[in-house]
Amino acid sequence: MKLDKYTVQDGKKMRYGYTTGSTAAGACKGAVEIYFQREDISTIEIETPKGWDLNLDINSIETGTKDNSRYVKTSIIKDGGDDPDATDKIEIFATVREVSEDEEIEDRGDNFINEKKSVSLRGGTGVGKITKKGLQVAIGKPAINPVPVRTIFYEVEKILPQGKKIEITIDVPMGVEIGKKTFNPKLGILGGISILGTTGIVKPMSEEAFKDSIVVELKMLLEEFSEDTVIITPGNYGKKFLVEKLGIEPEKILIISNFMGFILDNIKVLGYKKIVLVGHIGKLIKVAGGIFHTHSKVSDARMEILGANALLAGETPEDVIKIIEANTTEEGLSYLKLKDTNKIIAEKIKQKCEGRVFDEIEVEVLTFSFDHGELARTDGFNTMVNNYMENNYGKN
């Protein structure tokens, strides 16, 4: 079933989809229905936390016996709507077997159990396993987030006969490879994807989901490393610079994409005291102008900001005109004659960031370009990084 609900973004009609959590809940409920009713069904209905009911198509049904225990295995294909998600069109399987009356359902550390202790939920092939602190799920558990777990239990308990106990295993065969293309390995979720979804519904092209994943990583860094300093960069170029030039471990670097203001706000709320910000001047120059969402569709005043600061630094009016008329930041930099210009810009970035967090966090900045290498460091950058390195690696 395709969800026949739409939203409009950037002038385009875009269809909603449903999450891996809803897909898994449907597969689990379908398997239980078939197991106890002993008849094939083609669809299964579930309620989502958002309040929308879904009537999901069952893609496959398998019945058999393993280890002298009867089982039913069903699958549903996830439909992410018009959201470009790595898990779109994956097939999620649920296998149910009955637990004998004299067998207790217990928390073994790698499963979830419902309050009635009538359902045990496990992760199988392609469902990631939690290996680090700071996530919503405990270490050792399958990467099935709390809301999908509750949804699965709620839907299954509706149709589970009184007095019966079952074990359900979720498998996502494609999840092993897909998981490697997500944030999961960096977050400490190994071996597959996460079963996610706070509403059960996928809003197409949602920035919120991506921003939420960055916040999860931010919390994980705080939990795992107990640092008062966070190291952030807009993208992979900055990460590469931090690793190769400054010797920072990759897992301690947070890529924030275009969401500078959003991340600064969350860093403040979480209680960090210091920020090391490193990035290509093409992104960070916007922050010098007080722009905290740096995507070009939202804001692009790079040349104007570079030109204005060049004029303040004492560059000639002729060169400032060349800068403002330049096609790229890299080209604009080629017209700078004074070393102080890049330093002024770095300090301006620091000032704007600290203003965003009401001067409650100390921020130090390093900018670089592809053609010119490192451009400038703020006055306190070396001290902050040296202290960080000494605290973490015993060196400066």
Q: Are 16 and 54 in contact (CB under 8 A)?
A: no
Helix (H) or strand (E) run with residue 233 in it? strand 229-233
- Looking at residue 9, its pLDDT comes to 67
pTM: 0.76
> Which run of H or of E encompasses 97?
strand 91-99
Domain boundary assignment for the chain: 6-202, 207-393
CATH of domain 6-202: 3.30.2110.10
The predicted pLDDT at position 208 comes to 77
Give pLDDT tens digits for 84-121. Answer: 788 999 999 999 999 998 889 999 999 999 999 999 99
b/e burial code for range 79-118 (CB count within 10 A of at least 16 → b): bbbbbebebbebbbbbbbbbbeeeeebeeeeebbbbeeeb
Whether the per-residue pLDDT at 391 is higher than 90: the answer is no
DSSP 143: S
Q: What are phi and psi of 61, to 5 degrees?
A: -135, 130
The Cα–Cα gap between 99 and 102 comes to 8
What is the enclosing helix (H) or strand (E) of 211?
A: helix 207-225
What would the pLDDT profile of 300-314 be if each residue is shown by its tens digit?
A: 899 999 999 999 999
What is the residue-wise DSSP string for 29-80? HHHHHHHHH-S--SEEEEE-TTS-EEEEEP-EEEEEEETTEEEEEEEEE---
Compute the mean pLDDT over every residue in the chain, rounded to the nearest whole number.
93
pLDDT, tens digit (0-9, with 9 covering 90-100), for 57-88: 999 999 999 988 999 999 999 999 987 788 99
Mean pLDDT in residue range 232-252:
94
Q: Which amino acid is at 342?
A: N
Distance CA 383, CA 188 (A): 31
Q: Does residue 396 register a pLDDT over 70? A: no
Give the residue from 76, 69, 71 showing the smallest Cα distance to 27: 76
Question: What value does the mean pLDDT take over residues 194-216?
Answer: 85
pLDDT of residue 134: 79
Nearest partner of 117 among 73, 153, 70, 72, judged by Cα: 153
With the C-alpha atoms ordered 149, 150, 155, 161, is the resulting torsion angle positive or negative?
Answer: positive
pLDDT, tens digit (0-9, with 9 covering 90-100), for 154-185: 999 999 999 999 999 999 999 999 999 888 88
The alpha carbon of 357 is separated from its chain's Cα centroid by a whole number of angstroms, namely: 23
Chain centroid to Cα 396, Å, comes to 32
**Distance from C-alpha of 391 to C-alpha of 248, rounded to nearest angstrom:** 12
